[in-house]
Amino acid sequence: MKRSWHTVPLDRLLTQLGVDPVHGLTNEEAARRLEQVGPNRLATEQPTGPWTILRRQLTDLMMAVLGTAALVSWALGERADAVAILAIMLLNAVLGFFQEFRAERSLEALRALAAPQARVIRQGRLLRLPATQLVPGDRVQVEAGDRIPADLRLLEAWGLEVDESLLTGESVPVAKRADWLGRGEEEVADRPNLLYMGTLVTRGRAEAVVVATGSQTEMGEIAALIRRAGPESTPLQERAQELGRVLVAVSLGLVTLVTAVGIARGLSAYEMFLTGVSLAVAVIPEGLPAAVTVALALGVQRMIRRNCIVRRLPAVETLGTITTICSDKTGTLTRNEMTVTRVELADGSLEVTGIGYEAPGQVLDRGRPVQLSSRPGLERLLQVAVLCNRARLPAAGLEAQAPRGEGPGGLEVWGDPTEIALLVLSGKAGRPPEVWRAQAEERAEFPFDSDRKRMSVVVDLGGERLVLCKGAPESVLAQADRVEQRGGPVPLSATGRRRWLAKAETMSGAALRVLALAYKRLPMGVLPNQEGAETGLILLGLVGMYDPPREEVRAELERARRAGIRTLMVTGDHPRTAEAVARELGILQPGEEAVLGRMLDGLDEAELRRLVRERSVFARVAPRHKVQLVKALQKCGARVAMTGDGVNDAAAIKEADVGIAMGRCGVEVTREAASVVLTDDRFDTILAAVEEGRGLFQNVRTFMRYLLGCNAGEVLVMLGATLLGLPLPLTPLQILWMNLVTDGLPAIALGMEPPSPGLMERPPRPPGEGVLGGGLGRQLLGRATAIGLSALAAFLWMLTAGHDLTVARTTAFTALVTAQLVYVFSARSERLDPLERPLGSNRWLVAAVALSGLAQLGALSLPFLQGALETVPLPPDGWLVVAVAAGWPALWDLARHAWEVGRGEVEKGRAVRIGAPKRI
């Protein structure tokens, strides 16, 4: 049966599938079939399970090193040491498991949020459901921009073309028809009545029935070719791994030196072996790549809470380097709630009141409501507006679980905002759209495309057969030879055509989107082709609609400028409309004009670069122009974020450093091309994502500054004591305990830091800047030296004060732990006074430090820990030494910051901006 779907007559196939061709399946039948055939998804790699994560933790390199040390200790009779090492191994494994398990669950939630949707008719109602819930027999609708959700057999098709290159390798879109029937020998690429899962609708629309889902589809047979090979690695993760390898080499060298010098001085080889192993475990940053992954996953979760879904992990980091945002106008900078405000007829102008989908309003002629019975031209125009239209309002019987748009009051709507505005216009004129639709019977449709810039339908209405057409004024006027007057159609002269075009230009200059509407009568029984239908039209008039800017956008654009980010408007709208909106938002500078897309054709590379540096608004751009702009900006050194919602945006979104798709009104192909999807389609959400990207990089640097500074301090203590011929200040188990207490919970909590104040007041960081760039390496080495020398000084002080070695070691041990727990608060910011970041902004960090402090107190007071760690309760002078050793580096930070404030290097609460944002 599977190979012959294209050969079975449609009525027989519907009978075999057991489906009502009009009302679709019932909910109960769909549920039964879903249980029988399973979810509509291809076989993919299973998410990493808990046992796999735990096994990875137990087979880690450092766990192997510790395990070896435990075995050696046990073999030499040091059973207590061996048990203590095993206990620390277990604690480390549990901590690592928690980190990785949380990251995996975060990414699983992300995949679920990004699941594709499908439009399906069940029990006679149109629903929007996750594509995974489709079953054989479901009746679905697809249109330009959609990705086919399953293998489908066409019921009806209107101008349908599909890109099947993913499946067949054929780059040219394939025309599809419902009336074709195969003989059986046709290959996949030669079956025009079938649509295949994963392919893209490039033109037209269709209704179809599901014939196969999941692994039973054609795509299911080659799923291995499109399955992801593995998780993506971000540049940040790669740099962390590279840094880790360098630090491993340096650390092993220092550890080897400490061990060799100790043995040369006559210290126990066994003791130095355990010391070397412990230092290696404490110093080698084997957890850095995992820590970066956790930070990325947490960043993804924060972005989800801020209405931003990240589909590709590298985008989280790249967002922090963005210098230019190429934003579509409609829906991002504006509300995407088109409202007709003006109607131009041959016998005068009409005003339409009310803004938005739900706002009440009227059609007024010189301040008085219009009566349709006295204005037949307006009545015919409304017929075109409603019947040459694919949008739906709630009154039309649509149920949408994930509507394409919502009015301010939550009104669910379906379709293009321009077409929704036309339906609302009809209602304001006193004729609800369903009235026209109940009276008309559609015979043919010629869908809108970007070449013709118009759409037409052939309908039977009131005993007449009519062609109804709407589109761009220049396109419709080119096909019109008459214009509707009060007494009937009159010839449209060249002068009259120019006058109508001038009216359209004036309306566009007032930030209105303008459509021309026309019609013509046909003899009953005649059904023309597209070319025949769209010639000899009768112009009815112009409709001007307004999409007001979002209230918050102007302030957000200013915020972007302060953050060193340019915003360019890139739109397919009329240049006058684009200029009016851009001027209102402050994007367009005085004296600047919009650049037309066709002006980019023929420019050489140098001219194009100059243009993108100097201009901010690009109108009437085609998909190729958007790609040109992105490439030109990148060659100028910009990091580009491109936003969009339509099929024509997909190529540029794919080309940009970060592609951002609209989740509410965007089409599936655009969302799949994007690395980031906005669930609220708002410009301020883009800036929130940029802030999270910057905050992520900041948190990784914070984590490394803390972790590496502390670990280096531990090595310096041991190295200094060994070179000075002193007894070892720390035992091996004390080193391992310190690694657990200070590098565990506090380090994780640092990765949960919220973005620091002033983060969006600074220019973007250079894209190639390393995680230790910008002086961070000097900072951590300076703090490592301070921590190491302080602990060594505390050790020496206690020895010279007459205390025994155990007390001196306990003092050095406690001083090191306390200094690191104090340092965690200084490490929170590279630029701010530690006291300027309120502790309440990261309660996880406060809790982590408190738990680590309690654990350290337990190490000094609980008998079983005292025995394992060789510690004793500290005398009063020991606590005083600890306070001085741990506190003076923090006091130094405060003094240094105050000095920098005095010199003007930093302001209170944020870094001083050096110069203005560079304009590329």
Q: Which residues make up the CATH 3.40.50.1000 domain(s) of the chain?
A: 308-334+550-681
Q: Extract the tokens encoding 20.
A: 């009502």
What value does the mean pLDDT take over residues 874-884? 93
Task: Reply yes or no on whether the pLDDT at 231 is more than 70.
Answer: no
**pLDDT tens, position by position, 689-717:** 898 888 877 777 777 778 778 878 888 88
Q: Determine the topology of domain 308-334+550-681 in CATH.
A: Rossmann fold (3.40.50)
The pLDDT assigned to 489 comes to 94
| C-alpha–C-alpha distance, residues 3 and 187, integer Å | 10
* Angle at which helices 805-826 and 776-800 cross, to 10°: 150
Of 80-84, 125-129, 679-683, which has the strongest mean pLDDT? 125-129
Residues 6+ apart with CB under 8 A from 676: 308, 309, 310, 311, 315, 319, 658, 659, 660, 661, 689
Provide, rounded to the nearest whole percent, the portion of the chain with pLDDT above 70.
Answer: 76
Rounded-to-integer distance, Cα 489 and Cα 34, Å: 57
> Does residue 916 have a pLDDT over 50?
no
- Pick the catalytic residue from 60, 81, 138, 328: 328
Q: Which two tokens stand for residue 902?
A: 């005095």
The whole-number pLDDT of residue 465 equals 95
| Rounded Cα distance, 122 and 27, in Å | 7
Measured distance CA(27)–CA(135) in Å, rounded = 11
Residue 892 has pLDDT above 80, yes or no: no
Q: Residue 646 and residue 632: Cα distance in Å, rounded? A: 22
User: Which tokens hold the place of 393?
Assistant: 């309002």
pLDDT of 81 > 70? The answer is no
Least confident of 248-252, 425-429, 720-724, 883-887: 248-252
Q: Domain spanning 2-45+114-226: which CATH class is it, in words?
A: mainly beta
CB 854, CB 787: distance < 8 Å: no
The model's pLDDT over 290-300, given as tens digits with 9 standing for 90+, comes to: 566 667 767 77
Q: Output the CATH code of domain 698-911.
A: 1.20.1110.10
The residue whose two tokens read 């050969």 is 7
Say which residue the tokens 């192993």 belong to: 277
Q: Return the pLDDT at 531.
A: 87
Q: What is the pLDDT of residue 772?
A: 65
For the cut 70, the answer to whether the pLDDT of residue 446 exceeds it is: yes
pTM tops 0.75, yes or no? no
pLDDT at 567: 94
- Is the pLDDT confidence value at 881 over 50? yes
Greatest mean pLDDT range, 56-60, 277-281, 825-829: 825-829
Active site annotation includes 416: no
Q: HEC string of 196-227?
A: CCCCEEEEEEEEEEEEECHHHCHHHHCHHHHC
Name the band, by pLDDT with cuts 50, 70 and 90, for residue 835: low
DSSP three-state, residue 914: coil
What is the arithmetic mean of pLDDT over 433-447?
90
Mean pLDDT within 576-587: 86
- pLDDT tens, 182-213? 887 777 778 899 999 888 887 788 999 999 99
Amino acid (one-letter) located at 487: G
Tell the residue number behind the tokens 């972790």, with chain if given. Answer: 707
Which is nearest to 361 in space by CA: 408, 433, 426, 435? 426
Q: CATH 2.70.150.10 occupies which residues in the chain?
A: 2-45+114-226
Q: Where in the chain is the domain with CATH 1.20.1110.10?
A: 698-911
Q: What is the pLDDT of residue 676?
A: 87
Give the model's confidence band at 900: pLDDT under 50 very low, under 70 low, under 90 confident, else very high. Answer: low
375 has a pLDDT exceeding 50: yes
Residue 146 banded pLDDT, cuts 50, 70, 90 = confident
pLDDT > 80? residue 582: yes
With H, G, I as helix, E, B as strand and everything else as coil, classify residue 640: strand
Residue 305 has pLDDT above 90, yes or no: no
Half-sphere exposure of 102 (CA within 13 A, CB side): 20
Provide the 3-class DSSP secondary structure of residue 179: coil
Cα end-to-end span (Å), the chain: 60
- Tokens encoding 110: 């992300």
- pLDDT digit string (tens) for 449-506? 767 889 999 999 989 999 999 999 999 999 999 999 988 999 999 999 999 999 999 9
> What's the confidence (pLDDT) of residue 877?
92
Per DSSP, the chain holds a count of helices (H) and strands (E) of 32, 30
Is residue 902 exposed (0-12), middle (13-18) or buried (19+ Cβ within 10 Å)?
exposed
Higher-confidence residue of 282 and 554: namely 554
pLDDT in tens, 840-874: 777 888 898 999 999 999 999 999 889 888 899 99
Both structure tokens of 749? 């909590």
- CATH 3.40.1110.10 placement within the chain: 339-546
pLDDT recorded at residue 399: 35
* Mean of pLDDT values over 221-225: 53
Question: Which option is the CATH number for 339-546: 3.50.40.10, 3.40.30.10, 3.40.1110.10, 3.40.430.10?
Answer: 3.40.1110.10
- Give the list of residues 6+ apart from residue 435 with CB closer than 8 angstroms, or none: none
User: Which pLDDT does position 769 carry in this prediction?
Assistant: 64
What average pLDDT does range 751-769 have in this prediction?
Answer: 75
pLDDT of residue 918: 42
Candidate ranges 226-240, 364-378, 820-834, 835-849; pick with highest mean pLDDT:
364-378
Q: How far apart are CA 240 and CA 541, in angstroms?
A: 63
118 sits in which H/E element = strand 117-122
Residue 603: burial class (beta carbons within 10 Å; 0-12, 13-18, 19+):
middle
Cα distance between residue 237 and residue 111, in whole Å:
20
Sign of CA dihedral 23, 28, 32, 37: positive
Mean per-residue pLDDT over the chain, rounded: 79
- Give 87-127 pLDDT, tens digit per residue: 656 766 675 566 556 545 544 544 444 447 789 999 988 88
- Averaged pLDDT for residues 762-778: 69
The pLDDT value recorded for residue 832 is 54
Closest by alpha carbon to 448, among 646, 690, 727? 646
What pLDDT is recorded for position 194?
93
140-149, 624-633, 730-739, 798-807 — which is least confidently predicted? 730-739
DSSP 8-state class, residue 321? G
DSSP-assigned letter for residue 766: P
Between 551 and 3, the more confident residue is: 551
Task: Over range 49-75, report the average pLDDT.
Answer: 63
Give the pLDDT confidence of 516-557 residue by residue, as tens digits: 999 999 998 889 998 899 999 999 999 999 887 887 898 999
